[in-house]
Amino acid sequence: MPYAQRYAPYAAITARSTGDPADAVMALRDAIRAADPSQTALLGNFRYSYRNKKIDISRVSWLKKIFRTAHTKMEYDPEVWGKVEELILEEVRRSRDEGIRGSAPAQSL
């Protein structure tokens, strides 16, 4: 099955850089494109810092705590999940409102 037709809730991207990793990240951001732009909407671009933020990751394996600390903290951050919920509800309301405005008036028989 072609990659674009296979369901995957995420994508893993691996890159190698001989220079500054920040330059590689910027190049990757420019290179990443939606498989189907007509079915894709960017809802936002948010930055969270976990350098001094306390998030309970006591349930997480030691491997993730050592090698993926910031990402793991993001997975357990209630602020992030609150933002995700807010964005989903906004889109549901917007879609519902557009559907209501776009529908023909009901006719009595």
d(CA 19, CA 80): 31
- DSSP assignment string, 34-74: -SSGGG-----------SS-----TTS-HHHHHHSHHHHHH
Q: Tell me, what's the pLDDT at 9?
A: 57
Q: Tell me, what's the pLDDT at 77?
A: 92
pLDDT digits (tens, 9 = 90+) for 52-107: 889 999 998 988 888 888 888 988 999 999 999 999 899 889 888 887 766 555 55
Q: Tell me, what's the pLDDT at 66?
A: 84
pLDDT digits (tens, 9 = 90+) for 13-49: 666 667 776 777 777 777 777 778 887 777 788 888 8
